[in-house]
Amino acid sequence: MRWKITGSSVTGRSHVDRGETGQDCHRAGSIRIGDREYFIGVVADGAGSTTHGGVGADIVCGRMYEHITGTLRNTADLSCITDGEIRDWIGASRAAIAAEAVAKERRIRDYACTLLGAVAGEGHTLFFQIGDGAMVVSADGGEYDTIFWPEQGEYANVTFFATDDQFSEHLNIRHYPSTPGEIALFTDGIQTLALSFAQKKAHAGFFRPLFDALRQHPENGFQDFSRQLSLFLTRDDVSARSDDDKTLVLAVLVQD
Amino acid sequence: MSDNTYLDQQPLGAVTFAENPEPRCPCLLLLDTSGSMAGEPIAELNTGLKTFYNELQTDSLAIKRVEVALLSFGPVRVISDFTTAECFFDPQLEAVGDTPMGEAIRKGIEMIRARKEQYRVNGISFYRPWIFLITDGEPTDEWQSAAALVREGEASKSFAFFAIGVNKADMKILKQLSVREPVKLQGLKFREFFQWLSNSMKSASRSNPGDKILLAPPLGWSEI
């Protein structure tokens, strides 16, 4: 069992026009422990209203990835990882952001960002999320299911952040007792393209071709695939649908 | 065929988008069309509205997200319920009658409530609605209950209410009607006002999670 993984974060057109850099970030990869390979994906979206949301997103992705790999080296069985441990990873990542804020004499909310994460091993997958964006899985390339529906405040431009004092209150955790063949993580910039809000469902027409392309892509060309993904995410018809920064991480399971 | 061409034209080209409703940015205009607006004021207001629609129609996101409703008073009449810019029309308002401002505000707030309910039922997300009251006079009906509804709505963040006074508008009453400071229109600069409003709506319709929507200072059309 192996994972093929790709990911891309692109800056929304209106941000490009204003000369701003993107506030989205991701880390995605796999680690092999013994004869098992684990997929780890972390995605964060820095709040548009902040000055340093992008920095917060970068710190939280990097720290979460380290905490997860560290834990996996000690606990190879994913089903043994508790909600408390996941909260501790996030708490520690949040503390790293707080330290950066103190060092730069800013407030932690200047670094506000959302957080989505997935860790998949044999027979068990962990998902966690604070704020908007979504994760989508498919067992066998059939129906696509959302793990959590994007969490939002009353208005479209209000959400919850990993940097909030009360982050645990809006932390969603799901222990999934199997290994999905396909996993996607994405920020809210992709939501309007990939999710049907009327039906509260993931749109298969969006995910199917992307996963198929990744599955069929030659093994040695991963760099190239993520570059193609970036071109796709900045295409005119995509930008016309969503002006926001966009991050998409895809992982497919390959049986040898 | 190179790898790039294959990826670019085949699999990723086949991606389709969810037929997903865009988040909506509702804006309600309460327009005074009482007798005192007759002549140049109403003509300028009509021209301004046209500018407003045209501006929104040229913006690929605003056309799908901004929903405008028009309610005129003198007498109270819904000219157009909430609709996106694709369906905008040329309203050609006429000035006649008195100034039932209280009734107009109460009716407008009810329209906002009903629209939000429709968004919720249909799973459409939305931004905080804006209400703009534009008047050149003073209420000829009971307005204190309307003022209370505005205060309530502002406190619960149900909407943001702005009052614009034209010519001899009673700014003292507008101050009591609106929690936010009312603004006096410079002469009959409706066109400049609507230009400003469409710009504000365009940026609001682009705002992302976490953004605080800030209105640009009312430059170019207001007396400050």
Q: Give tens-digit pLDDT for A216-234.
A: 887 665 567 888 899 999 9
Among B8, B20, B124, the residue with its CB nearest the CB of A228 is B8
Strand, coil or helix: what is B77?
A: strand
Q: What is the pLDDT of residue B5?
A: 39
- How many CB atoms within 10 Å of residue A211? 23
pTM: 0.73
Q: What is the pLDDT of residue B7?
A: 43
d(CA B106, nearest CA chain A) in Å: 22
Distance of CA B141 to the CA centre of its chain: 23
CB of A103 closer than 8 Å to CB of A148: no
CB of B74 closer than 8 Å to CB of B99: yes
| Residue located via tokens 């050149």 | B136
d(CA B127, nearest CA chain A) in Å: 5
pLDDT in tens, A39-56: 999 999 998 777 899 999
**Chain A: residue nearest B24 by CA?**
A156
φ, ψ for residue A138, nearest 5 deg: -140, 135
Q: Rounded mean pLDDT of A18-33?
A: 88
| Sign of the CA dihedral running A99, A103, A107, A109 | negative
Give the ipTM of the model, two decimals please.
0.72
Q: Rounded mean pLDDT of A170-185?
A: 95
- List CB contacts (< 8 A) between B3 and chain A: 218, 221, 224
Nearest to B109 by CA among B62, B76, B66: B76
- Eight-class DSSP state of A6: E
Is the confidence at residue B8, as pLDDT, over 60? no
d(CA A33, nearest CA chain B) in Å: 32
Check B18 against A210: CB less than 8 A apart.
no
Q: Rounded mean pLDDT of A85-111?
A: 95
d(CA B31, nearest CA chain A) in Å: 26
| Sign of the CA dihedral running B194, B199, B202, B204 | negative
φ, ψ for residue B143, nearest 5 deg: -120, -10
Q: Rounded mean pLDDT of A60-88?
A: 94
Among A159, A196, A212, the residue with its CB nearest the CB of B209 is A159
**Chain B: residue nearest A150 by CA?**
B125
Cα–Cα distance for residue pair B75/B143, rounded to 1 Å: 15
- A84 pLDDT band, cuts 50/70/90, is very high
Check B210 against A228: CB less than 8 A apart.
no
Give the range with max mean pLDDT: A184-188, B57-61, B121-125.
A184-188
All domains in chain A, ordered by first residue: 2-254 (3.60.40.10)
Check B21 against A198: CB less than 8 A apart.
yes
Check A156 against B16: CB less than 8 A apart.
no
Among A47, A155, A241, the residue with its CB nearest the CB of B127 is A155
Check B16 against A203: CB less than 8 A apart.
yes
A156 torsion bin: left (phi>0), alpha (psi -120 to 50), beta (else) = alpha
| Residue located via tokens 């979206």 | A45
- List CB contacts (< 8 A) between A51 and chain B: none
- Name the CA dihedral angle for B212, A117, A136, A160, rounded to a multiple of 10 degrees: -20
Candidates B15, B127, B130: best to mutate against A (most CBs of A within 10 A) is: B15
| Peptide bond between residue B23 and the one before it cis (omega within 30 degrees of 0) | no
Cα–Cα distance for residue pair B22/B199, rounded to 1 Å: 19
Tell me the CA end-to-end span of chain B in Å, nearest whole number: 65
- B211 pLDDT band, cuts 50/70/90, is low
- B31 pLDDT band, cuts 50/70/90, is very high
Cβ-count burial A111-122 (b if 16+ within 10 Å, e if not): bbbbbbbbbbbe
- List CB contacts (< 8 A) between A109 and chain B: none
C-alpha distance from residue A56 to each of A8, A61, A134, A170 (Å): 18, 9, 19, 18
Looking at residue A38, its amino acid is Y
Is the confidence at residue A26, as pLDDT, over 60? yes
pLDDT in tens, B119-157: 887 778 888 899 999 999 999 999 999 999 999 999 999
B63 torsion bin: left (phi>0), alpha (psi -120 to 50), beta (else) = alpha
Check B208 against A213: CB less than 8 A apart.
no
- B87 pLDDT band, cuts 50/70/90, is low
- B4 pLDDT band, cuts 50/70/90, is very low
- Name the CA dihedral angle for B120, A237, A182, A75, rounded to a multiple of 10 degrees: -80
**Chain B: residue nearest A205 by CA?**
B16
Q: What is the pLDDT of residue B86?
A: 67
